[in-house]
A = this chain, B = another copy of it.
Amino acid sequence: MNDLLIRNVRPWGGVARDIAVTNAVVSSGAPASAEVVDGGGRILLPGFSDAHVHLDSSRIGLPFRPHSTPPGPLWNQIMNDREHWRDAEASVTERATATLGSAIAHGMTSGRSYAQVDADCGLERLDGVLAAREAHRARVGLEIVAFPQAGLLLEPGVPALVEEALRQGADIVGGIDPCALDRDPRRHLDAVFEIAERHGADIDIHLHEPGELGAFSAREILRRTRALDYRGRVTIAHAFCLSELDALAAGALLDEIAELDVALTTIAPSGRAALPLAEILGRGIRIGLGQDGQRDYWSPYGNTDMLDRAWQLAFTNGLRRDDDIEQALGVATLGGVAVSRGRSAVGPDRGVGVGSPADFVLVDAETPTSAVMDRPGGRTTIRAGRVSAENGELR
């Protein structure tokens, strides 16, 4: 029985009221004998959805480690991670489970994690992410991408590993930089789409490639999406190229992304890579926000708090108006839900109306915008009508 009565909360900062949950969904009447949560006048928002996280690389909670990544091409960074990850003070299972738990305590209720699959680690890192999902099954809805971080073609046996990962519980076929990494965009993308079709799986491709190179790869992804009628089933992650093309070229690409219902995810990077958020949202393109790797062998940044990342999205896009910042908060919450499960999975009335999934976070703030600015603690996370965390502690 996932019934709950949430008393005295302000949905999206509106007027205080009670919210009844029956069978994990917001209902109109009060449930008969439900658990009661005292909202204490806090803001109620849809739970955070981390649409792009690498749970298998995180060192959150372990001793801080000086950054060791050499500069240069992506391959150097991949090899740096490969050199070090087995020496972590805790196993991938422990690290992924702790990191996911911390994110839940900060308000996460759903998301999508990558699990690296390559010739070095085999399925060992996938096992860790699967274990983390199992440990938190009641607290979070997590999709897992079988992610060939080191390419599909450069080392032997990787496509077969991706297929085995799908059989063992991964949901989505990953890909990465078809030109820059594998240096064979046709074979890379053909392999990704073939595996996905064979397993009936969706697709999620990391695209760091810059400018016109990235646009070329994006168009190749779109061409296959159209040919195989994979509408609504493909995500392009990062897509830095979109911010580097001129407005006309970016607009044309975004038009086709919208037409084919391809989703985007961003980690709200700094500098020139910030995605053109208004152009994306204006076209109704599904877009989610993610925390990427966190305090790992790649980067010292990241802290499992999607509200911090929502601030980062607002900041990097120069948003100041309250409605714009609430839209960024929408990307951090319902955005990921739409990326994972489609628009229909987002409940009515910005995810808090009758019929919405009872996945919420309660935040002690005056308004949604002040919540983004202050990123206050003292949150309550509710997943499927059950309290999953309170005051930074898992239930």
A interface residues, Cβ below 8 angstroms from B? 63-64, 66-67, 69, 270-272, 274, 295, 299-301, 303, 312, 315-318, 320-322, 325, 365-367, 369-370, 373-374
Contact = CB atoms under 8 A, between A and B. Distances in A.
Looking at A63, A301, A374, which has the most chain B CB atoms within 10 Å of its CB?
Answer: A301
Nearest to A64: B370
Given A300-B325, A320-B299, A325-B300, A64 B366 contact: yes
Contact of A272 (B63, B272, B300): B272
A56 B318 CA distance: 23
Contact of A295 (B274, B312, B373): B373
Given A66-B322, A322-B66, A300 B370 contact: yes
12 contacts: A64-B366, A64-B369, A64-B370, A66-B367, A67-B321, A67-B322, A270-B274, A270-B315, A270-B316, A271-B318, A300-B369, A300-B370
Contacts of A325: 300
A271 B67 contact: no
Nearest to A269: B318
Q: Which of A64, A299, A322 has the most CB of B within 10 A?
A: A64
A367 B66 CA distance: 9
Contacts of A300: 320, 322, 325, 369-370, 373
Contacts of A295: 373
Nearest to A63: B366
A64 B367 contact: yes
Contacts of A315: 270, 301, 312
Total copies of the chain: 2
A374 B303 contact: yes
A272 B374 CA distance: 25
Nearest to A69: B320
A272 B271 CA distance: 6
Contacts of A272: 271-272
A141 to B, nearest CB: 28
Closest 8 CB pairs of A and B: A64-B370, A64-B366, A66-B322, A270-B316, A270-B315, A67-B320, A67-B321, A300-B373
Contacts of A320: 67, 69, 299-301
Contacts of A374: 303
Contacts of A365: 64
Nearest to A316: B270
Given A270-B317, A312-B315, 19 more contacts: A64-B370, A66-B322, A67-B320, A67-B322, A67-B369, A270-B270, A270-B316, A270-B318, A271-B271, A271-B272, A271-B274, A271-B316, A271-B318, A272-B272, A300-B325, A300-B369, A300-B370, A301-B373, A303-B373
Contacts of A67: 320-322, 369
A369 B370 CA distance: 27
A17 to B, nearest CB: 21
A79 to B, nearest CB: 16
Contacts of A370: 64, 300
A275 to B, nearest CB: 12
A224 to B, nearest CB: 32
A317 B64 CA distance: 21
Nearest to A325: B300
A300 B326 CA distance: 13
Nearest to A13: B64
